[in-house]
Amino acid sequence: MQILRSGRSRALLFQFLALAAVLGALAYLVHNTMANLETRKIASGFAFLAREAGFEIGESPFLAYSAADHYGRALLVGLLNTIRVAVVGIVLATVLGTLVGLARLSSNWLLARLASIYVEVIRNVPLLVQLFFWYVVITENLPGPRDAANPLPNVFLSNRGIAMPGVEPHPLYGWLLITFIAGLIVAGLVARWARARQARSGQPFASFWVGCGIALGLPLAVFLVAGAPLQLDAPQLSGFNFEGGVVLTPEYATLLIGLVTYTAAFIGEIVRAGILAVQRGQFEAANALGLSRRLTLRLVVLPQALRVIIPPLTSQYLNLTKNSSLAVAIGYPDLVSIANTSINQNGQAIEGIAIIMAVYLSVSLSISAFMNWYNQRLALVER
C-alpha cells in the first residue's frame, strides 16, 4: 500500500494499466477477426493486389487500364484520380478563396455582402448535398451534347460534361518545363545575390522582375527558337459525345466544382482573418517610412498576413483532399471508390480499408510535418 501512495510508482502503474488495457482490447479484436475470417473463408494478405480486377473504371486519363489488369493497378488509377482532382481543386480553391476573402473586405457594400452571403450559404450546407446538387444540375438540367451550351468559343457545356480545347502534346513541352525549372533556380540565385548586395551596399535591385524575366523568358525563347509548335485541339461533336480537346466527365466536373466552391468559402474566411490580423499601425508605420503601396504590401502586410494564413490554409488543403473521398457518392472513381469496389468483389475489407487509411494518413502526416517545419521557421522571425 505504501508503494501506491508515492506519486511516481502510481504514475507507472496507471500507465502500465492503460497500455495493458489497450493492448488487451487490440489482441481480443485481432483474435475475433482471425476466427471470423476463418469461418467466413475470407483470404487475408495483400496477394489479391496481383489478381485480375475484372471491373472497368470510368476514367483513367494518365494510366492505361482495362478490366483485365490487376487490383494493384486499379487502386493506382484511383490514387491518380484522387490526386488529379485534389491538385486542380487546391489551385482553383486558393484562387477563388482569395478573391472571396478580398471581396468580403471590399469597400463596395454590394460586393462585400455578396461574398458574405456566398460564404454563409456554402459553409452551412453539407458538401455531400452540394455535390448531389451540382451533379443533378449537370446531368439533368444541362442540354444534351447536340445542343450544348456554348458560352465561350469551343467550350461546350452539356449533360455529358464540360468540353474545352486542349493543347496537342508535343515532345518539346517536356523541355519547356525543364527550362522553366532551371530558370526558377537561376532566378532564386539572382535574388539571393541581390539581397546580399543590398545588405552590403544598400543598392536595390529589381530581383523580382528580373527573376520573372528569366523564369518565363528562357522557356519562351526555347519555344520560339523551336518554331512555336502550338496546336490547339478543339472538341468536335461526333455521334452522341464530344471528341478531342479536354473533356471533363460530369462526375469529375461535379466533384471539382463542389470541392472548389466549398473549400473556397473556408479559404475566403482565412484570407480575410489573415489580412485583418495585420494591425493598422503596421500600415501607418510603413507609410511613415515612405514605402510605396506595393512595397508596403510586399514587405509589411503580406509576410505578417501569411503567417496567420498558411497554417489554417494547409489544413483546408488537407480537408479538400479528404473530402475528395465523397467521390464515391457520385461515382467518380477515386481511391476510396475503387477500394470500395474491390472490397465488395473480394471481401477483403481489412486490406482495402488499410490501404485507404495508409494513403490518407501519409498525406496528412507529411502535411503536418511541413506545418511544424514552417511554424518553426516563422518562430525565428518573430520578435
Partner 1 sequence: MRWLRANLFSNWPNTIATLVIVWLAWKLLVPFFDWALVEAIWVASDTQTCRAAKGTGACWALIHEKHRFMLFGTYPFELQWRPLLVILILLALYVTSALRSCWRPWLAVAWMVGLAAIGILMWGGVLGLRYVENERWGGLALTLLLATFGIALAFPLAILLALGRRSELPVLRALCVLYIELIRGVPLISLLFMASVMLPLFLPEGMSIDKLLRAQIAMTLFAAAYLAEVVRGGLQAVPRGQLEAAQALGLPYWRTTWLVVLPQALRISIPPLVNTFIGFFKDTSLVLIIGLFDLLTTVKVSIGEPQWVGFGVEAYIFVSVVYFVFCYAMSRYSQNLELELARGAARGGVR
CB of 246 to partner 1, least distance (A): 27
Choosing from 232, 277, 361, 369, the residue that interacts with partner 1 (CB under 8 A) is: 361
| Mask for 120-159, x = binds partner 1 (CB under 8 A) | xx-xxxxxxxx-xx--xx--xx------------------
Of the candidates 313, 309, 334, which has an alpha carbon nearest to the alpha carbon of residue 323? 334
CB of 163 to partner 1, least distance (A): 23
Total Cβ atoms within 10 A of residue 327 = 26
For 289, list phi and psi in degrees, rounded to 5: -75, -10
Q: Which is nearer to partner 1, 207 or 261 (CB)?
A: 261
CB of 104 to partner 1, least distance (A): 13
Say whether residue 375 binds partner 1 (CB under 8 A): no
User: Are the C-beta atoms of residues 49 and 62 closer than 8 Å to each other?
Assistant: no
Tell me the window of 30-38, 169-177, 231-239, 244-252 that interacts with partner 1 (CB under 8 A). Answer: 30-38
CB of 265 to partner 1, least distance (A): 12
Residues 325-354 that bind partner 1 (CB under 8 A): 325-326, 328-329, 336, 340, 343, 349-350, 353
CB of 108 to partner 1, least distance (A): 5
Of the candidates 166, 175, 170, 171, which has an alpha carbon nearest to the alpha carbon of residue 219? 175
Report the distance separating Cα 343 and Cα 53, nearest Å.
11
Tell me the window of 101-109, 166-174, 253-261, 370-378 that interacts with partner 1 (CB under 8 A). Answer: 101-109
CB of 319 to partner 1, least distance (A): 9
Report the distance separating Cα 235 and Cα 245, nearest Å.
5
Q: Which three cell numbers, joined as nine digits, stand for 77?
A: 488509377
Report the distance separating Cα 148 and Cα 169, nearest Å.
26
Residues 271-330 that bind partner 1 (CB under 8 A): 322-323, 325-326, 328-329
Report the distance separating Cα 108 and Cα 102, nearest Å.
11
> What pairs with residue 204 in β-bridges?
none
DSSP structure class, residue 52: B
CB of 143 to partner 1, least distance (A): 11
Q: Alpha helices of the chain — where are they, by DSSP H?
A: 2-5, 7-40, 71-104, 109-123, 127-136, 172-201, 207-225, 250-276, 280-288, 293-295, 302-323, 327-330, 335-346, 349-381
| Length of the chain as a residue count | 383
CB of 342 to partner 1, least distance (A): 12
Choosing from 3, 6, 11, 46, the residue that interacts with partner 1 (CB under 8 A) is: 11
Q: Which residues bind partner 1 (CB under 8 A)?
A: 11, 14-16, 18-19, 22, 29, 32-33, 35-37, 39, 106-111, 114, 120-121, 123-130, 132-133, 136-137, 140-141, 322-323, 325-326, 328-329, 336, 340, 343, 349-350, 353, 356-357, 360-361, 364-365, 368
